[in-house]
A and B are shown apart, each in its own frame.
Chain A
Amino acid sequence: MSLRLTDFYPVWFIDLAAAVTLAIIAAGVAYRVRELRRIGVFTLLAEAARRLGPTALASTILSELFSRVVMSRDVITDSKWRWSAHYSQFAGFILCAIATTLVYIYYPTAEPRQFTDIPKIIGNIGGILLVVGGLYFLLRLSKWSRRPVDTVFTALLFTVAVTGFGTQISRVSGDPSVTFWIYTAHLVSVAALLASAPFTRFFHVVQTPLMRLSERLYVLASVKSGAVTVLKQYPGGTRSFKEEMMVENLLEKYRGYS
């Protein structure tokens, strides 16, 4: 059974929904970038980049991305279960994103595919990981978070995975009306997940590595510029820079008094 969204909804409606989702994401990202700029994260990054130079900058960014993001080292230090569930969700989301991209590029038609197709295999593994990680966090969420937005994010991620499997199963069973509703729920939950991303815990995917990266880059830049010789003797990270900025800020204020 072919499953194409335009068979169910008019094209203008889908275009409008996509445009609204993108507009919400853009507004949310702009808000977050403004916040980060205000607290000086980009100043720190620029200062570190200036001191490090392009080669050291690029290699540090790559190694940090591999270590902190791909391998998730030092990400959650308090519980192995929590780390595993977190990694399960992270890897699951990435695999599902890869599967969706592969389908978009290599399979332009909406015909059902075999379970042995590469995107199917990747997507299903990703989906299982999302469900496993999502279940853990949904059951344990009250222990860690009281923010409604966190519950919304975790629930949406879980719903995306469950409705994805639901769509797949209903396509195999061959009931078009059921498939239609589950597929709609899947797409709506994906759109809601992406649109709410800048406002929920989802944004930490970008924000936390960026923060850690700026801290790391600044420490390395300080070592390179000779401000410190041994990394272990410099646990303060960007603190000295911030302290310098505060004192400078005060001195400027004094100089400007009339």
Chain B
Amino acid sequence: MTRLGMLIDLAYCIGCNACTVACKQEQGTPPGVMYARVLVREFGKYPRAGKIFLPILCMHCENPPCMKVCPSGAINRTEDGIVLINEEICSGAQACVTACPYGAIFYPDTLQTYFDTPTPFEEYHMMRRRKFPTAMKCNLCIHRVRDGKDPACVVTCPTDCRIFGDWDDPDSRINKYLRERRPEARPFPLRPEAGTRPKVMYLPDTYAVKRAREEVELAADGGGAV
């Protein structure tokens, strides 16, 4: 069985947001809608300060709550595990927006453009949309994947921290990467308590782990919590 997904090695993410821009280019999303984006958080205090970059997107869960709560049955999963919204069926109930524990679903009420008049690029994407407004989310660049290409965010990442592939295929790039590049690390999901079984998994950033551990030890030693 094919389980398409993504592995994101946080050790290599530099927070450049190239994925964010590439996604906007590929999907032609309106302002405020970012299927792929990078969350940033600073922690600790100088000289033990740390910073984490967390690239997020739709997790294409195996147990997707958005699909369960959609009253119109507009959200489905393909055979290879990509969770898709059928724009024609979506009735705008927006239950999926709240149900997604990752905030990956957007529902822009008004179709805004970046400038006063839509650019030809925006016009092209407006025409391509079957209906508006509807719920919108990452489709893992299914049009590219079907052509044998990687999603736009993956090919644009300058540090190759996003690895796309089939989790079930031992020879896929994901599994090869885990074996050859990070054999010591175990991939983990975000918010596992939600029970969504995401197919986008993460590898820890060892530097940030070290800083976070120092923060804990410092607090335990009475050095002042940060």
Interface residues of A (CB under 8 A from B): 35, 38-41, 44, 74-78, 82, 143-147, 150, 201, 204, 207-208, 211-212, 214-215, 235-240, 242-243, 245-247, 249-251, 253-255, 257
Contact = CB atoms under 8 A, between A and B. Distances in A.
A78 B71 CA distance: 14
B98 A255 contact: no
B102 interface: yes
Given A35-B65, A144-B73, A253-B188, A204 B204 contact: no
B193 A239 contact: no
Taking chain A's interface residues, is the majority helix, strand, or loop, or is none over half, making it mixed? helix
B87 to A, nearest CB: 10
A255 B32 CA distance: 32
Nearest to B73: A145
Interface in B92-110: 92-95, 97-103, 108-109
Given A144-B89, A251-B52, A201 B95 contact: no
B191 A145 contact: no
Interface stretch (B138-146, B148-156, B205-213): B205-213
A254 B103 CA distance: 22
5 contacts: A38-B194, A78-B91, A208-B93, A251-B212, A257-B213
Counting contact residues on chain B (CB < 8 A from A), the size range is 35 or more
B77 to A, nearest CB: 12
Contacts of A204: 69, 71, 93, 95
Contacts of B73: 144-147, 150, 201
A203 to B, nearest CB: 9
Contact of B98 (A238, A251, A253, A254): A238
Contacts of B211: 254
Given A35-B68, A147-B73, A247-B39, A74 B194 contact: no
Contact of A207 (B69, B92, B133, B193): B69
A78 B92 contact: yes
B195 A208 contact: no
Nearest to B31: A235
Contact of B196 (A39, A150, A246): A39
B216 A255 contact: yes
B52 A247 contact: yes
